[in-house]
Amino acid sequence: MAFSNLEGLYRQVIMDHYKDPRNKGLPTDESYHHVHLKNPSCGDDITVAIKLEGDTIEDIRHEGVGCSICCSSASVMCEELCGKDIVLARRVTHNFYEIVKGSEIDETIDMGDAIAYSGVSNFPARIKCATIPWKALETGLEELGK
Ligand code: ZN
């Protein structure tokens, strides 16, 4: 019973981010680095724009089309990673990959709404949907030499 209530709550969190996405829309500001990734198996097509200030992620924006899992995950990622230093952002990202696989996570890290994606592990085909915005961010950090 408790489990299904939790599932319902998680679904609400995901739908809230899908219907009212945070940080949506790409900036024209040239200080942002853009990464475009596609997930052909689902049709997700997303661009993430990253702005760093030293070793801190000052801002992340996103734009694209995709399923509710992908689009909401981009919104959650922005909310969780903006303002974090890159080392912590990477730890949160890796923890998120464990969450969607249903693996053990580092519970000392505050995951915020990202914890709502634990149910994705029941649908392995959707794991890529959830992770693609986060992969785009990781790619961007690598391209920026971070
Ligand atoms: Zn998808």
- Is residue 90 classed exposed, middle or buried when 0-12, 13-18 and 19+ CB atoms within 10 A define those classes? middle
State how far the Cα of 36 lies from the Cα of 82, in Å rounded to an integer: 19
Distance 39 CA to ligand 1 centre (A): 7
Q: For the chain, how big is the Rg over CA atoms in Å?
A: 14
Distance 71 CA to ligand 1 centre (A): 8
Distance 105 CA to ligand 1 centre (A): 23
State how far the Cα of 77 lies from the Cα of 73, in Å rounded to an integer: 6
Measured CA distances, 72 to 3, 37, 65 (Å):
22, 16, 11
Q: From 100, 88, 61, 66, select the one nearest 77 (Cα to Cα).
A: 61
pLDDT digit string (tens) for the chain, length 146 residues: 455 788 888 999 999 999 999 999 999 999 999 999 999 999 999 999 999 999 999 999 999 999 999 999 999 999 999 999 999 999 999 999 999 999 999 999 999 999 999 999 999 999 999 999 999 999 999 999 99
Distance 107 CA to ligand 1 centre (A): 27
Distance 84 CA to ligand 1 centre (A): 26
State how far the Cα of 78 lies from the Cα of 80, in Å rounded to an integer: 6
The predicted-structure confidence for 42-69, as pLDDT tens digits, reads as follows 999 999 999 999 999 999 999 999 999 9
Phi, psi dihedrals of residue 37, rounded to the nearest 5°: -130, 150
